[in-house]
Amino acid sequence: MSFSSSSSSLSSFSLPDSPSGSPLAAHGWDADWESAFAPYGAQGLLPGRVVRVDRGLCDVVTADGVVRADTEFVVPRDPMKVVCTGDWVAVDPEGGDPRYVRTLLPRRSAFVRSTSSKRSEGQVLATNVDHVIICVPLTAELDLGRIERFLALAHASASGAALLHDAGLSPESAAQPLVVLTKADVVPDAVGLSYLVSDVEAAAPGVQVLSVSALDGDGIDVLRAVVAGGTSVLLGQSGAGKSTLTNALIGADVMEVQAVRDMDGKGRHTTTTRNLFVLPGGGVLIDTPGLRGVGLYDAEAGVEQAFSEISELAEQCRFHDCGHAVEPGCAVLAAVDDGSLGQRRLDSYRKLLRENRRLAARTDARLRSEMLKGWKQRGQEGRAAMAAKRGLPM
């Protein structure tokens, strides 16, 4: 059943007035973007931001309005460099038919996951974002492991060191993750809701966690204040309420929404493209299709940040290369023993690190060799520890 069949064409939106006097300022245009674009402006090209990409074409908002542009000249072999919603680009001036995107401006940030292929490729979901909003529906049992996976990607991909370095930016330019527990109205008990928030906070150290309900408006004003500055992207599985949240933040039914399936509580893929909107109260919002798979991509630093308490404990381990398995003097294992660190949390940390290293090893022969050597060494240490425990000679 459909809650709303109303949807608006992105090209029908008018450009809001901007305090700076530039129509593009409402979409995030600033002095740094203007400086980066200057060489292309000298060539007579126009700046614009991609608000949607569809089958080799994209909608680009410019100072003159939204134009349809062809991406033929910016189709690289590297999938990490394809045009994506959120990109700032240089497009042909008025008069060309079709008009083409001629180049992409260097990205400040990008949210990336691995593709389902076996080629270890990354897929860029949104670019130039300041807030990564992870939407988690309270209509289903909390999957803390999935939340941790999203957070690892948010920390790593949206603010990857290599990406920031290439863009000439510091870590302070990193996008900030935020977990939003949607459909909070299904949990009428305030105490029960507070427990759910606490559980997620424990799995997301240092990350703000909000509970919201688009149905009754609870928490929407707080979220609106968070996203009022910069660009935010909504991420989550189908049925997480991303499109409903988009409508609530905009104050209009710009995205079609549907009810989740009664038989299994899963959402339908109502949103099929990534769409960029300007929010009435300030800020830019990118809504994305539901994600079934959330594969890690170059996310080791992100995993360490998502599990910051384990990283801090690891600094106290006796050995700097401690694997937190059987090593003596391991502060991480000691924390598990005394109850200050949950076993589930450590297991999740290990799982994500293993997955990320396996993916990286597909394209890195030296890393494969190092991993094999490490497995052999840990196996020997484990056998030695077991033999010592049983009093047997090695």
Three-state DSSP state, 383? helix
Secondary structure of residue 299 in the 3-state scheme: coil
**Nearest residue to 209 via CA among 138, 134, 149, 156:** 134
Whether the Cβ atoms of residue 230 and residue 284 lie closer than 8 Å to each other: yes
Q: Give Rg (Cα) of the chain.
A: 23
List of the chain residues with pLDDT < 70 = 1-21, 115-120, 157-174, 256-272, 293, 361-394
Q: What's the pLDDT score for residue 253? A: 81
Who contacts 52 (Cβ-Cβ below 8 Å, separation ≥6)? 10, 58, 59, 85, 273, 274, 275, 276
Local structure of residue 6 (DSSP, 8 states): -
Task: Quote the pLDDT of residue 383.
Answer: 63
Phi, psi for 83 (deg, rounded to 5): -60, 135
> Could you count the other beta carbons within 10 Å of the beta carbon of residue 308?
13
Retrieve residue 345's tokens. Answer: 């949390």
Strand intervals (E) in the chain: 2-4, 46-54, 57-62, 65-70, 88-91, 99-104, 110-114, 122-127, 131-137, 176-182, 208-211, 231-235, 257-258, 275-278, 284-287
Count of CB atoms situated within 10 Å of the CB of 2: 11
| pLDDT score of 123 | 82
Element (H, E) at 369: helix 365-390
Cα 32 from Cα 49, distance rounded (Å): 14
Predicted local confidence at residue 296, as pLDDT: 80
